Amino acid sequence: MRTAQFPSRYVQGLGALERFGPEVARLGKHVLVLADRNLPTGVLDGLNTEGLLAETHLVEPACTQDAIAQTVHRSREMGVDMIAGMGGGKVIDLGRAAADELRLPFVSVPTVAASDAPCSALAVVYDGDGKVLFDRFVRRNPDLVLVDSAVIAAAPARFLSAGIGDALATYFEADACVRSGADNVCGGTATRLAHTVARLCLDTILEKGGGAVDACERGQPDGDFEDVLEATILLSGIGFESGGVAAAHAFHHGIAELPESHGALHGEKVAFGVLAELSLGGESDDRIAEIARFNRSVNLPVCLADLGIGDAEAAIPVIAARATREGEIIHNEPMAVDAQIAADALRRADQLGRSIWRRG
């Protein structure tokens, strides 16, 4: 079965937080706003809750089973009729999971563009030590995704770069799933729509990603910035969920096994995973170098050393073993992959990336 799913409504632009009240009033009256307690001062002040009965709770950015249970309990006591999550991925996932448990509408308000999670129906649940416990697939995508580009542009540019890294994987992984006939992330096979959206995502970031990162560094969002923001949040979100995931994210999971990589963001690990995926797929050195040069132009990793992994030879077998576990998404690729093949692909990508570094 071809399957696709989407957020119900998407609003993006300068000052979008001003629209929160009128937009959310479409869904209900009484909202619990979960806001990351580390949000820069002023961001929360910009949230216009006119016309709503809104109660704000500052929360730790942690989507654990305890935090979900507390949020469910609090929401029941308050009698809210919807939940909003405002912050990075963990706060959004916390709100998403709690709203799902209560069968309430959910509003996603990302304040950074570091990944393609805001539009999805997927919450990553962690244990108390910060390790991933499981992926929780909720019944539906957010009822509203509200993205204030001024807020994203004021956040460190490194987050936008990471979002571009996550978005870079979207087309290559969706395309691998289309070629192999593997399932996407919403319980079916890819639609032509999702494949096309993923392609538009890739074309947009390759053409405009560098300009968008510059605009973010200057704190001056322009048209290219808006296009890249849409690509990283909306296009990549639809592309991965309704297109499918494959080797780049499997390599991410492998890299995340290594404690040295823990300073790197999700999208940074994925960005190197893309180079390894291209290598795995037998792409030419020139093609891989072209993507590696793009990575450098948007401050993304091109080799394992960029991810804090000094001893590549020791790390590669660990990454490859984790990435090729039974049932892992690397097996969505159109060719058979074992740990040896994955290690060879990682090694080639790492060497090409390091040669790009030397050439500058």
266 tagged catalytic: yes
How far apart, in Å, are the Cα atoms of 52 and each of 44, 75, 108, 256, 299? Answer: 15, 16, 16, 41, 41
Please, what is the minimum distance in Å from the beta carbon of residue 270 to Zn ion? 5
Based on the shown chain and the rule CB under 5 A, indicate whether residue 241 belongs to the binding site for Zn ion. Answer: no
Q: Which of 201, 59, 38, 202 is nearest to 111 (CA)?
A: 38
Based on the shown chain and the rule CB under 5 A, indicate whether residue 277 belongs to the binding site for Zn ion. Answer: no
250 neighbors 273 (Cβ within 8 angstroms): yes
Pick between residue 166 and residue 283 the one whose CB is nearest to Zn ion.
166
Q: Which stretch binds Zn ion (CB under 5 A): 126-134, 159-167, 185-193, 292-300?
A: 159-167
* Residue 264 in tokens: 């790197």
Residue 304 sits at the vertex; the CA angle it makes with 298 and 309, to the nearest 5 degrees, is 125
**Residue with CB nearest Zn ion?**
166
Pick between residue 166 and residue 306 the one whose CB is nearest to Zn ion.
166
Round to whole Å and give the CA distance between 350 and 305: 9
Single out the residue of 93, 166, 226, 306 in contact with Zn ion (rule: CB under 5 A): 166
252 tagged catalytic: yes
Round to whole Å and give the CA distance between 302 and 268: 9
Size of the site for Zn ion (CB under 5 A): 1
Pick between residue 124 and residue 200 the one whose CB is nearest to Zn ion.
124
Pick between residue 17 and residue 197 the one whose CB is nearest to Zn ion.
197
30 tagged catalytic: no
Please, what is the minimum distance in Å from the beta carbon of residue 50 to Zn ion? 35
152 neighbors 87 (Cβ within 8 angstroms): no
Pick between residue 74 and residue 325 the one whose CB is nearest to Zn ion.
325
Q: Which stretch binds Zn ion (CB under 5 A): 35-43, 143-151, 161-169, 176-184?
A: 161-169
Please, what is the minimum distance in Å from the beta carbon of residue 114 to Zn ion? 10
Catalytic option among 175, 224, 252, 306: 252
Q: Is 35 helix (H, G, I), strand (E, B) or coil?
A: strand
Round to whole Å and give the CA distance between 143 and 251: 32
Phi/psi of residue 139, nearest 5 degrees: -70, -30
262 tagged catalytic: no
Catalytic option among 93, 100, 116, 166: 166
> What stretches of 181-284 show up as alpha helix (H) in DSSP?
192-218, 223-230, 236-243, 247-255, 266-280
Q: Known catalytic residues?
A: 166, 249, 252, 266
Contact residues: Zn ion, CB under 5 A: 166
